[in-house]
Amino acid sequence: MAKVAIVTGGTRGIGEAISLALKDAGVTVAANYAGNEEKAKAFTEKTGIASYKWDVGDYDACQEGVKQVQADLGHVDILVNNAGITRDGTILKMTYEMWDDVMRINLGGCFNMSKAVFPGMRERKWGRIVNIGSINGQAGQYGQVNYAAAKSGIHGFTKALAQEGARAGVTVNALAPGYIDTDMVAAVPADVLEKIVAKIPVGRLGQAHEIARGVAFLCSDDAGFITGTTLSLNGGQHMY
């Protein structure tokens, strides 16, 4: 029987690539999204992957969303916490709402979704949780105290939850992308983006499918001895 995965923010950008990579690996995928119903519908029509709308920053919505996926597709074996937003600005200009929105969705969403699927994974003695962090959670970034804090928090969350799941066959890992050629990065001004690329040793932006391959591996049976780790895919931009 095919395993079932939920990919949050799974209909666009890196999330879309992850959803497709897992489908190609024989997994039944549910792609969560929060906003654009038109694009989600187009994604489902194009890929055949079911899409489900709820806000990962809303605890109760996550509980209900997971219940619906399980009713439709079966118990959830794999969770990829990919959903994230940016609300950039220096701390002098950042409002509390900008801080809270990013923390609630980017970090809070990891808790809300993991809380909904972790008990079942432990009970069945198999599970994979992959949390999408960021190079900016590892190295920091000017004008992103909210985003960097949330993504850095994901790495600590991953290590702690990995210890809770290890003996029950549930692995919890993180993947930290560098700058990837997606709509989010495309919104960066051209002159700023040029300076960013100049600092990447491989000399280019990453591609979404390169991140997706890493996620698919961490979700596989072959990755059963890997837990509590962060896989950094950043073209050598940040090494430590």
- Cα separation, 218 vs 18, in Å, equals 12
Single out the residue of 38, 28, 127, 42 nearest to residue 72, CA to CA.
28
Is residue 159 classed exposed, middle or buried when 0-12, 13-18 and 19+ CB atoms within 10 A define those classes?
middle
Residues in the chain: 240
Nearest to 239 by CA among 202, 204, 185: 202
Residue 26: Cβ-neighbour burial (10 angstroms; 0-12, 13-18, 19+): exposed
Residues annotated as catalytic are: 147
Tell me the C-alpha distance between 68 and 200, whole Å.
42
CA distances from 152 to 103, 190, 202, 240 (A): 11, 27, 24, 15
